[in-house]
Amino acid sequence: MSETHTATILLTKEDPAPVKLRNMEFSSPYLLVCDHAGRKIPQSLGDMGVPASDWNRHIAWDIGIAEVARHISDFLKAPLVEQAYSRLVIDCNRKPGHRGSIPEVSDGTIIPANKGLSAEERHAREEGIFWPYHQAIEYEADIRGTIILIALHSFTPVYQQQERPWHLGVLHNRNPVFALEFIKQVEQLSDGPWIVGSNEPYILTDENDYTIPRHAEASARPYLELEIRQDLIDAPEGQRLWAARIAEVIEKTRTALSQEPSK
């Protein structure tokens, strides 16, 4: 019994909490979430057998997005829920059990610590990191009533030798009203042109996403899932600049939708 029990403990008091909160004291029409903000590793997993150079790659986290999310949170005075741990430990935008949830390989890199996990080891990742994060989002969304959920991510400028031209990608599936208005507002900006992809470089699906389907689409809550190209936000200046631009468009989008005559 004691062996089984020990194997299920992932985080100790030496490890940081999985959920990071910011600006929670503000009452805001928005709730910001950042699934891939962090790249912490539980001490019990060491370096997971992954070389140090790979911990700087996009496979470990969404480069630049934590800083952008914090700036947007400060500009809008909106609460932000961030995941502290690397998506190589467990991906918080994949349903538990999905093949990408605890990836054995990520963009060509083998993740030795994720090979052949027992059910208990998977369960420990879910209980220690995945569920506390999603419970925090659910709690904050519920107590705040009518909010717009904003999920922030970043993407690599080149993938499989293909250049990705978009500055921003807006992902949407069910109930795309806020997303489509956001795209319209970007296209109307005078300091453009920004290239904004609609469902680029990814599409939003129940299969490959978790956060928006679970916390927004399931309850018909308005949402924006935004992807930002990493080379624009890999340094402090760009992080602040793009956060300011995005915060402004988010506000314009909300204003435009609130002024539409109801049908």
Q: What angle do CA 242, 236, 184 make, to 5 degrees?
A: 5
| 54 vs 62, beta carbon nearer Zn ion | 62
Q: What is the largest CA-CA distance in the chain?
A: 65
Single-letter amino acid code for the residue at 84: A
The residue within the footprint of Zn ion, chosen from 15, 54, 62, 91 (CB under 5 A), is 62
| 62 vs 217, beta carbon nearer Zn ion | 62
Closest distance to Zn ion from the beta carbon of 227 (Å): 7
As a whole number of angstroms, the distance between CA 70 and CA 77 comes to 10
| 141 vs 204, beta carbon nearer Zn ion | 204
State which of positions 138-167 bind Zn ion (CB under 5 A). Answer: 153
Q: Nearest to residue 6, comparing CAs of 122, 121, 119?
A: 121
As a whole number of angstroms, the distance between CA 242 and CA 158 comes to 20
As a whole number of angstroms, the distance between CA 131 and CA 172 comes to 24
| 15 vs 35, beta carbon nearer Zn ion | 35
Applying CB under 5 A, the site for Zn ion has a residue count of 3
The reply to whether 82 sits near Zn ion by the rule CB under 5 A is: no
Cα 149 off chain centre by: 11
Cα 187 off chain centre by: 24
The residue within the footprint of Zn ion, chosen from 11, 30, 33, 36 (CB under 5 A), is 36
| 35 vs 181, beta carbon nearer Zn ion | 35
- Residue number closest to Zn ion, CB atom: 153
Single-letter amino acid code for the residue at 159: Y
Contact positions vs Zn ion (CB under 5 A): 36, 62, 153
